[in-house]
Structure 1
Amino acid sequence: MLFKQKHLEGIKAGNISLAFRKWKRLSVNAGSLIKTSVGVIKIISTKEISLGEITDPDAAKAGFASAQALVQLLESQKEGLIYKIELSFDSEDPRIELREKVSLEEEEFETLKAALDNLDKFSKVGKWTTKTLQAIQENPKMKAADLAVKAKKEKEWLKLNVRKLKGLGLTISHEPGYTLSPRGEEYLRLITK
């Protein structure tokens, strides 16, 4: 479940407590935890509704100026059912502490290297992890579309796979682009020395 950055910040601040999605099938459940750039978001409840049930107060709780603005957005999307999702900020992102860890002990380095080797091994495009980390290092905060061109990959492929690197604490997402985390910098230093 993806959110715009301004909505994530509203959820973390406690100003946004609802989200509305148009999906062919529900993709979150009550109790689900979603890692985002601002921390972990918890899904409290989900309910299938009609567009006519969306009220101005509900729209405000979702970060929209009016029900009309939210309904227009939902109507512009592909077919599907409308879901009202109650959510809240749960906790800080555990990847933040991980990515700030500068020194890698030998065992931790080997575990990380094995995880990246696995990503390479099971990829349809072959070895990509080190090349992608190097592209990010050489082009900090470059828009994903431009970085994808430099890395000779599709934008959506790049974004999906950078999320895998972020999950290992190696990258940091920005608006726009990415940088290597201290952990990512240290990993590259160790494999290229």
Structure 2
Amino acid sequence: MLVFDRIRRDGIRAGTVTLAFRYWDTFKFLKGKIYRAQNVGYLRVLDVNFKDIADITEEEIRCAGYETFEDFRFHFMKALDVDIECSYETERAVRIEFEYLGENIEDYQRAMGNIKESDIFNIKEQLLMLEQKSFKPWIAKTLQLLKQQGHVRFKDLEKPVDIPSDMIKMFMVKLKQLQLISSSEAQGYSITPLGTKVLKHLNSRYNDIHELTEVAKGDDSY
């Protein structure tokens, strides 16, 4: 279980803390899985890898909830056992990138796609209004692309989605707020279990519309 101090917990809830570094010799968490952090709630692990401590950037320090490397090093050492020595020039840490899902079991269930049909309907209504702003049916296409490829970087979305990059960025933020997608600094966007469930409903809706259109064409032939 990941444990954070109060300052980092507040940052996680606010969405400003999205990284953690731990002095482990093995991975204790798996990418894509959801875990409960003590006194925080549920976190989805977006990426996990080893990184040389000397190569940790200032941006990563800020995303971990620290203002300076000295502040980070103080708390990093404080979390170690007293008899462990750590050399910042030669040692490595486990880098964990995550997103905050919420404090309650309902937040976990939603993240896993276990929601009511009425909630699915509400999400589809929000997506319909969002899609109307672009005048193009891009949502199902985007979710399908993420499902097929696993991870897609932002720069690789503009051509298949056929929407200006500034609009894509705004729309992807909305999809993330609805917990239909996740975004990792290293790997880009990916679809969530909830996104997969909503995509299935969207595809069913588009198939129904297509069938109605074909029926209408058949009626016109008489």
TM-score normalised over the length of structure 1: 0.50
